[in-house]
A and B are shown apart, each in its own frame.
Chain A
């Protein structure tokens, strides 16, 4: 870290936009979306201002953990093509400034959540920030190939925080939303890592394809996909999802499984032909299936949460098949 900062070209003045980039706006938007779904699905009316403040706290907390992640990971970010343009490794923002921003925003978001919403939501938010910044970033990411499996919990918690913000409780259905994102994370990230594994290997990050090889990764993607689909369909049977959700989760799940199976049968992630100096996201022959699953996984998760959100906003009746 310190050596990298000493070597980095920090002569460019940091603009406010560079500090916004530290908050990982794209991740933040996904967190807002899933947290809002949890809040709305709880069915508990909430004062609009307090609902906005709750979502704002979750968004700022997610941004804070992103800044802490960029501060700590500047050394490995600087070695990967996907991340070397980030504000800290590119020298636009000093590491210490990223750390300060992360800590200050973490404290502000949790304290405002305590004051405006409730203790459970604030505690879950604090846990999420600590889990992502400390457990995932500082420990799991550089230590085990299971890094994104366990670390995925941080990304999966926002709907539970949203639910807790509205009700002060975290019932089974809230944790079901958490389970969907948790089980979705491994096939999603491993599909991506199958065609970016060279970068991870260079940076010494023990992603699954680097540690266990492409074939084992493709098998694990298939296994996780088989486990994921029942979890995604489950809300239709617990009083959370309606007929539209059952349709979307089932049809989308079938497509997900088909793509996972195709990926398993492919040679994605196998050693690339050294004669082709491809760009980072250029798809080599065998990696097309990995890219297809990666892209569809984003669409599938978005559709699941959008359908739940739409159904609850429209007042659609849940199926309650086994309730």
Chain B
């Protein structure tokens, strides 16, 4: 017989771990898109008619 309290704790712990990794992945994606945009556009960002 498994202990329901311990089982709930391990579920919560596993879910927390998954959520942290998912958040880090999303942050990394946003940073990558930002940096790629800067590299791809480069100086062209300021080289435009005002």
Contacts and interface: CB of A to CB of B under 8 A. Distances in A.
A49 B14 contact: no
Nearest to A56: B32
Interface stretch (A8-16, A198-206, A255-263): A8-16
Interface in B20-47: 20-22, 29, 32-33, 35-36, 39-40
Nearest to B28: A56
B33 A13 contact: no
Chain B facing A: main interface SS:
helix
A47 B20 CA distance: 31
Interface in A55-99: 56
Given A13-B10, A13-B11, A53 B17 contact: no
A15 B14 contact: yes
Nearest to A14: B14
Contact of B18 (A19, A49, A56, A115): A19
B30 to A, nearest CB: 12
A219 interface: no
B31 to A, nearest CB: 11
B17 A49 contact: no
Interface string A115-148: 1100000000000000000000000000000000
A13 B15 contact: yes
A116 B31 CA distance: 13
A16 B21 contact: yes
A116 B29 contact: no
A56 B28 CA distance: 12
A108 B18 CA distance: 19
Grouping DSSP codes into helix (H, G, I), strand (E, B) and loop, the A interface class, with mixed when no group exceeds half, is helix
Nearest to A20: B21
Contact of B36 (A14, A15, A19, A50): A50
Contacts of A50: 36, 39-40
Interface in A13-45: 13-16, 19
Contact of B39 (A11, A14, A19, A47): A47
A53 B14 contact: no
A112 interface: yes
B33 A115 contact: yes
B14 to A, nearest CB: 4
A49 B15 contact: no
Point out which of B14, B20, B21, B35 has the most chain A C-beta atoms below 10 A from its C-beta.
B14
A112 to B, nearest CB: 7
Given A19-B18, A108-B29, 19 more contacts: A13-B11, A13-B13, A13-B14, A14-B14, A14-B18, A16-B17, A16-B20, A16-B22, A47-B39, A49-B35, A49-B36, A49-B39, A50-B36, A50-B39, A53-B32, A53-B36, A115-B33, A116-B32, A116-B40
Interface of A: 11, 13-16, 19, 47, 49-50, 53, 56, 108, 112, 115-116
7 contacts: A13-B10, A13-B13, A13-B15, A16-B14, A49-B36, A50-B40, A112-B36
- For the complex of A and B, the 10 pairs showing the least CB-CB separation, nearest first, are A13-B14, A16-B21, A116-B36, A13-B11, A16-B18, A15-B14, A16-B17, A49-B39, A47-B39, A13-B10
